[in-house]
Amino acid sequence: MRRYVAKVFDSSRWDGFAVRSGDIIISTPPKCGTTWTQMICALLVLQESELPLPLDTLSPWIDMVTRARTEVFADLEYQTHRRFIKTHTPLDGIPSDSRVTYICVGRDPRDVALSMDRHIDNMDIGAFVKARERAAAIDGIELGPLHPPRPRPDRERDRFWQWVEDETPSTQAGSSLRFTIEHLQTFWHATDDLDIVFLHYDELQADLEGQMRQLAAHLDIEVDKDQWPRLVEAATLQSMRARADTTVAAGREHWINPAAFFSRGTSGQWRNLLDDADLARYTARVRVLASDDDLIRWLHRESID
Protein backbone atom coordinates (compact mmCIF):
# COMPACT_ATOMS: atom_id res chain seq x y z
CA MET A 1 0.00 0.00 0.00
CA ARG A 2 1.09 3.57 -0.61
CA ARG A 3 2.16 5.38 2.55
CA TYR A 4 0.70 8.77 3.47
CA VAL A 5 2.41 10.69 6.27
CA ALA A 6 1.59 14.14 7.65
CA LYS A 7 1.99 15.81 11.03
CA VAL A 8 -1.14 14.25 12.52
CA PHE A 9 -1.47 10.93 10.70
CA ASP A 10 0.53 8.05 9.27
CA SER A 11 -1.17 5.47 7.08
CA SER A 12 1.43 2.82 7.97
CA ARG A 13 -0.52 2.38 11.21
CA TRP A 14 -2.88 0.19 9.14
CA ASP A 15 -0.12 -2.39 8.81
CA GLY A 16 -1.21 -5.62 10.47
CA PHE A 17 -4.84 -4.56 10.94
CA ALA A 18 -7.24 -7.43 10.22
CA VAL A 19 -10.50 -6.37 8.62
CA ARG A 20 -13.71 -8.25 9.30
CA SER A 21 -16.45 -9.07 6.87
CA GLY A 22 -18.99 -6.26 7.10
CA ASP A 23 -16.55 -3.60 8.30
CA ILE A 24 -17.33 -0.05 7.22
CA ILE A 25 -14.37 2.19 6.40
CA ILE A 26 -15.21 5.88 6.21
CA SER A 27 -12.50 7.45 4.06
CA THR A 28 -12.76 11.15 3.35
CA PRO A 29 -10.49 14.10 2.67
CA PRO A 30 -10.36 16.31 5.79
CA LYS A 31 -13.27 18.68 6.41
CA CYS A 32 -15.64 16.93 4.00
CA GLY A 33 -18.08 15.58 6.60
CA THR A 34 -16.06 12.80 8.20
CA THR A 35 -17.37 13.16 11.75
CA TRP A 36 -20.90 13.66 10.46
CA THR A 37 -20.69 10.39 8.53
CA GLN A 38 -19.23 8.59 11.55
CA MET A 39 -22.17 9.78 13.62
CA ILE A 40 -24.66 8.60 11.01
CA CYS A 41 -23.01 5.18 10.93
CA ALA A 42 -23.00 4.99 14.73
CA LEU A 43 -26.70 5.76 14.87
CA LEU A 44 -27.58 3.23 12.18
CA VAL A 45 -25.40 0.44 13.58
CA LEU A 46 -26.22 0.92 17.26
CA GLN A 47 -29.74 2.36 16.76
CA GLU A 48 -29.41 4.45 19.89
CA SER A 49 -29.58 8.25 19.87
CA GLU A 50 -27.31 8.43 22.93
CA LEU A 51 -23.91 6.91 22.20
CA PRO A 52 -22.49 4.55 24.82
CA LEU A 53 -18.96 5.92 24.30
CA PRO A 54 -17.40 9.00 22.70
CA LEU A 55 -17.66 8.87 18.92
CA ASP A 56 -13.88 8.85 18.41
CA THR A 57 -13.69 5.71 20.60
CA LEU A 58 -16.52 3.93 18.82
CA SER A 59 -15.10 4.91 15.44
CA PRO A 60 -11.35 5.42 15.88
CA TRP A 61 -9.08 7.09 13.38
CA ILE A 62 -6.44 4.40 12.91
CA ASP A 63 -3.98 6.75 11.19
CA MET A 64 -4.05 9.42 13.93
CA VAL A 65 -0.70 9.56 15.74
CA THR A 66 -2.10 10.89 19.02
CA ARG A 67 -3.51 7.52 20.12
CA ALA A 68 -1.35 4.47 20.64
CA ARG A 69 -1.91 2.05 17.79
CA THR A 70 -1.91 -0.88 20.23
CA GLU A 71 -4.81 0.74 22.11
CA VAL A 72 -6.78 1.46 18.93
CA PHE A 73 -6.36 -2.10 17.66
CA ALA A 74 -7.40 -3.47 21.05
CA ASP A 75 -10.54 -1.29 21.09
CA LEU A 76 -11.53 -2.46 17.61
CA GLU A 77 -10.80 -6.10 18.38
CA TYR A 78 -13.06 -5.87 21.45
CA GLN A 79 -16.03 -4.49 19.50
CA THR A 80 -18.76 -7.03 18.78
CA HIS A 81 -21.02 -4.72 16.76
CA ARG A 82 -20.41 -3.93 13.12
CA ARG A 83 -17.30 -1.77 13.05
CA PHE A 84 -17.16 1.67 11.38
CA ILE A 85 -13.64 3.04 11.13
CA LYS A 86 -12.38 6.50 10.17
CA THR A 87 -9.48 7.37 7.91
CA HIS A 88 -8.27 10.32 5.86
CA THR A 89 -6.08 8.01 3.78
CA PRO A 90 -6.92 7.48 0.08
CA LEU A 91 -7.91 4.04 -1.15
CA ASP A 92 -4.42 3.09 -2.31
CA GLY A 93 -3.11 3.48 1.25
CA ILE A 94 -5.62 1.34 3.16
CA PRO A 95 -6.66 -2.34 2.97
CA SER A 96 -8.59 -3.19 -0.19
CA ASP A 97 -11.12 -5.90 0.60
CA SER A 98 -14.34 -6.93 -1.13
CA ARG A 99 -15.92 -7.76 2.25
CA VAL A 100 -15.70 -4.11 3.34
CA THR A 101 -18.07 -1.24 2.55
CA TYR A 102 -16.16 1.98 1.89
CA ILE A 103 -17.89 5.32 2.37
CA CYS A 104 -16.23 8.19 0.54
CA VAL A 105 -17.54 11.70 1.22
CA GLY A 106 -17.04 14.76 -0.94
CA ARG A 107 -17.61 18.48 -0.44
CA ASP A 108 -17.06 21.57 -2.56
CA PRO A 109 -13.31 22.15 -2.08
CA ARG A 110 -13.85 25.89 -1.83
CA ASP A 111 -15.84 25.29 1.35
CA VAL A 112 -13.27 22.72 2.51
CA ALA A 113 -10.56 25.39 2.31
CA LEU A 114 -12.48 27.82 4.51
CA SER A 115 -13.48 25.12 6.98
CA MET A 116 -9.87 23.95 7.27
CA ASP A 117 -8.77 27.53 7.93
CA ARG A 118 -11.02 27.74 11.00
CA HIS A 119 -10.11 24.18 11.98
CA ILE A 120 -6.42 25.11 12.28
CA ASP A 121 -7.23 28.12 14.46
CA ASN A 122 -9.19 25.89 16.85
CA MET A 123 -6.48 23.24 17.35
CA ASP A 124 -4.76 22.98 20.74
CA ILE A 125 -1.22 22.40 19.50
CA GLY A 126 0.19 21.79 22.98
CA ALA A 127 -2.35 19.03 23.65
CA PHE A 128 -1.55 17.47 20.28
CA VAL A 129 2.18 17.36 20.98
CA LYS A 130 1.67 15.76 24.41
CA ALA A 131 -0.73 13.15 23.05
CA ARG A 132 1.65 12.34 20.19
CA GLU A 133 4.51 11.77 22.62
CA ARG A 134 2.37 9.60 24.91
CA ALA A 135 1.18 7.43 22.00
CA ALA A 136 4.72 6.95 20.70
CA ALA A 137 5.94 5.92 24.15
CA ILE A 138 3.22 3.27 24.47
CA ASP A 139 3.90 1.90 20.98
CA GLY A 140 7.66 2.03 21.48
CA ILE A 141 8.21 4.40 18.56
CA GLU A 142 11.07 6.84 18.31
CA LEU A 143 9.63 10.13 17.11
CA GLY A 144 11.23 12.19 14.40
CA PRO A 145 11.33 15.98 14.54
CA LEU A 146 8.02 17.81 14.39
CA HIS A 147 8.72 20.54 11.88
CA PRO A 148 7.01 23.88 12.52
CA PRO A 149 4.09 24.71 10.23
CA ARG A 150 4.72 27.06 7.36
CA PRO A 151 3.67 30.68 7.98
CA ARG A 152 0.01 31.42 7.34
CA PRO A 153 -0.87 34.64 5.50
CA ASP A 154 -2.83 37.27 7.40
CA ARG A 155 -5.59 37.62 4.81
CA GLU A 156 -8.25 34.96 4.43
CA ARG A 157 -8.12 35.13 0.64
CA ASP A 158 -4.36 34.53 0.69
CA ARG A 159 -4.79 31.54 3.01
CA PHE A 160 -7.38 30.18 0.58
CA TRP A 161 -4.89 30.36 -2.28
CA GLN A 162 -2.14 28.85 -0.17
CA TRP A 163 -4.40 25.80 0.29
CA VAL A 164 -5.53 25.67 -3.34
CA GLU A 165 -2.09 26.03 -4.90
CA ASP A 166 -0.13 23.90 -2.43
CA GLU A 167 2.09 21.59 -4.49
CA THR A 168 3.06 19.30 -1.59
CA PRO A 169 2.72 15.68 -2.79
CA SER A 170 -0.42 14.03 -1.48
CA THR A 171 1.68 11.46 0.36
CA GLN A 172 2.97 14.28 2.57
CA ALA A 173 0.05 16.72 2.69
CA GLY A 174 -2.36 16.99 5.57
CA SER A 175 -4.89 18.94 3.52
CA SER A 176 -4.86 20.79 0.21
CA LEU A 177 -6.87 20.96 -2.99
CA ARG A 178 -4.44 18.51 -4.56
CA PHE A 179 -4.85 16.02 -1.71
CA THR A 180 -8.65 16.40 -1.71
CA ILE A 181 -9.03 15.69 -5.42
CA GLU A 182 -6.46 12.91 -5.58
CA HIS A 183 -8.07 11.22 -2.56
CA LEU A 184 -11.49 11.21 -4.21
CA GLN A 185 -10.07 10.01 -7.53
CA THR A 186 -8.71 6.84 -5.91
CA PHE A 187 -12.29 5.87 -5.06
CA TRP A 188 -13.95 7.27 -8.17
CA HIS A 189 -12.19 4.77 -10.39
CA ALA A 190 -12.58 1.70 -8.13
CA THR A 191 -16.33 1.17 -8.09
CA ASP A 192 -16.18 -1.91 -10.32
CA ASP A 193 -14.03 -3.81 -7.83
CA LEU A 194 -15.20 -2.70 -4.37
CA ASP A 195 -18.39 -1.82 -2.50
CA ILE A 196 -18.13 1.99 -2.40
CA VAL A 197 -20.80 4.45 -1.28
CA PHE A 198 -20.40 8.09 -2.27
CA LEU A 199 -21.96 10.74 -0.03
CA HIS A 200 -21.89 14.47 -0.64
CA TYR A 201 -21.93 17.10 2.11
CA ASP A 202 -24.57 19.19 0.31
CA GLU A 203 -26.91 16.21 -0.07
CA LEU A 204 -26.59 15.44 3.63
CA GLN A 205 -27.59 19.04 4.33
CA ALA A 206 -30.49 19.02 1.89
CA ASP A 207 -32.04 15.66 2.86
CA LEU A 208 -30.42 14.12 5.91
CA GLU A 209 -33.17 11.59 6.52
CA GLY A 210 -33.25 10.50 2.89
CA GLN A 211 -29.49 10.04 2.82
CA MET A 212 -29.58 8.07 6.07
CA ARG A 213 -32.33 5.81 4.75
CA GLN A 214 -30.41 5.15 1.53
CA LEU A 215 -27.25 4.34 3.46
CA ALA A 216 -29.13 2.01 5.82
CA ALA A 217 -30.58 0.17 2.83
CA HIS A 218 -27.14 -0.17 1.23
CA LEU A 219 -25.68 -1.49 4.48
CA ASP A 220 -28.65 -3.87 4.87
CA ILE A 221 -29.56 -2.33 8.23
CA GLU A 222 -33.22 -2.40 9.21
CA VAL A 223 -34.49 0.48 11.34
CA ASP A 224 -37.89 0.46 12.97
CA LYS A 225 -40.02 3.27 11.54
CA ASP A 226 -40.65 4.70 15.01
CA GLN A 227 -36.91 5.16 15.57
CA TRP A 228 -36.18 7.28 12.52
CA PRO A 229 -37.18 10.70 13.93
CA ARG A 230 -34.88 10.50 16.95
CA LEU A 231 -31.98 9.01 14.98
CA VAL A 232 -32.21 11.73 12.35
CA GLU A 233 -32.42 14.43 15.00
CA ALA A 234 -29.34 13.02 16.74
CA ALA A 235 -27.48 13.17 13.41
CA THR A 236 -28.07 16.87 12.79
CA LEU A 237 -25.08 19.17 13.07
CA GLN A 238 -26.97 21.20 15.67
CA SER A 239 -27.38 18.13 17.86
CA MET A 240 -23.76 17.10 17.39
CA ARG A 241 -22.58 20.61 18.23
CA ALA A 242 -24.66 20.57 21.43
CA ARG A 243 -22.93 17.32 22.46
CA ALA A 244 -19.49 18.28 21.18
CA ASP A 245 -17.66 16.85 24.19
CA THR A 246 -18.58 13.34 23.02
CA THR A 247 -18.99 13.83 19.26
CA VAL A 248 -15.96 15.94 18.33
CA ALA A 249 -13.18 14.32 16.27
CA ALA A 250 -10.03 13.04 18.00
CA GLY A 251 -11.38 13.83 21.49
CA ARG A 252 -12.33 17.13 23.09
CA GLU A 253 -8.88 17.72 24.57
CA HIS A 254 -7.43 18.54 21.14
CA TRP A 255 -9.65 21.59 20.60
CA ILE A 256 -9.68 25.05 22.11
CA ASN A 257 -13.48 25.04 21.72
CA PRO A 258 -14.96 21.60 20.95
CA ALA A 259 -18.28 23.06 19.78
CA ALA A 260 -16.45 25.29 17.28
CA PHE A 261 -15.15 22.14 15.60
CA PHE A 262 -18.54 21.95 13.85
CA SER A 263 -18.35 25.67 13.03
CA ARG A 264 -21.04 26.90 10.64
CA GLY A 265 -21.57 23.66 8.76
CA THR A 266 -22.91 25.53 5.74
CA SER A 267 -22.17 25.41 2.03
CA GLY A 268 -21.33 28.23 -0.37
CA GLN A 269 -19.31 30.22 2.16
CA TRP A 270 -16.74 30.89 -0.57
CA ARG A 271 -19.21 33.09 -2.48
CA ASN A 272 -18.53 35.94 -0.06
CA LEU A 273 -14.77 35.66 -0.60
CA LEU A 274 -14.10 34.95 -4.28
CA ASP A 275 -14.75 37.21 -7.26
CA ASP A 276 -14.98 36.23 -10.93
CA ALA A 277 -11.22 36.40 -11.44
CA ASP A 278 -10.70 34.17 -8.40
CA LEU A 279 -13.19 31.63 -9.75
CA ALA A 280 -11.44 31.49 -13.11
CA ARG A 281 -8.12 30.97 -11.37
CA TYR A 282 -9.64 28.26 -9.20
CA THR A 283 -11.19 26.47 -12.18
CA ALA A 284 -7.86 26.41 -13.98
CA ARG A 285 -6.24 24.83 -10.94
CA VAL A 286 -8.94 22.16 -10.65
CA ARG A 287 -8.50 21.30 -14.32
CA VAL A 288 -4.80 20.72 -13.74
CA LEU A 289 -5.48 18.32 -10.87
CA ALA A 290 -8.65 16.45 -11.84
CA SER A 291 -8.84 13.96 -14.69
CA ASP A 292 -12.58 13.25 -14.72
CA ASP A 293 -15.27 15.76 -15.67
CA ASP A 294 -17.96 13.71 -13.91
CA LEU A 295 -16.01 13.87 -10.65
CA ILE A 296 -15.57 17.64 -10.99
CA ARG A 297 -19.30 18.18 -11.54
CA TRP A 298 -20.27 15.84 -8.69
CA LEU A 299 -17.84 17.47 -6.28
CA HIS A 300 -18.93 21.04 -7.01
CA ARG A 301 -22.62 20.21 -7.61
CA GLU A 302 -22.41 22.40 -10.70
CA SER A 303 -20.30 23.11 -13.74
CA ILE A 304 -17.38 25.34 -12.76
CA ASP A 305 -16.50 26.40 -16.32
Mean residue pLDDT of the chain comes to 92
Protein fold of 11-300: Rossmann fold (3.40.50)
Q: pLDDT at residue 250 above 70? A: no
Q: pLDDT at residue 121 above 90? A: no
Q: pLDDT at residue 11 above 80? A: yes
CA distance 167 to 165: 6
Query: What amino acid positions are annotated as catalytic residues?
Result: 88
Nearest CA-CA partner of 165 in 302, 281, 9: 281
* Domain limits, the chain: 11-300
Greater confidence, 245 or 222?
A: 222
Q: What is the pLDDT of residue 260?
A: 66
Tell me the mean pLDDT in the region 24-47.
96
CB of 113 closer than 8 Å to CB of 53: no
Q: What is the pLDDT of residue 210?
A: 98
Helix segments in the chain, DSSP class H: 34-46, 55-58, 69-78, 109-122, 125-139, 156-164, 177-188, 201-206, 208-218, 228-235, 237-242, 244-247, 276-289, 293-300
Tell me the mean pLDDT in the region 171-185.
95
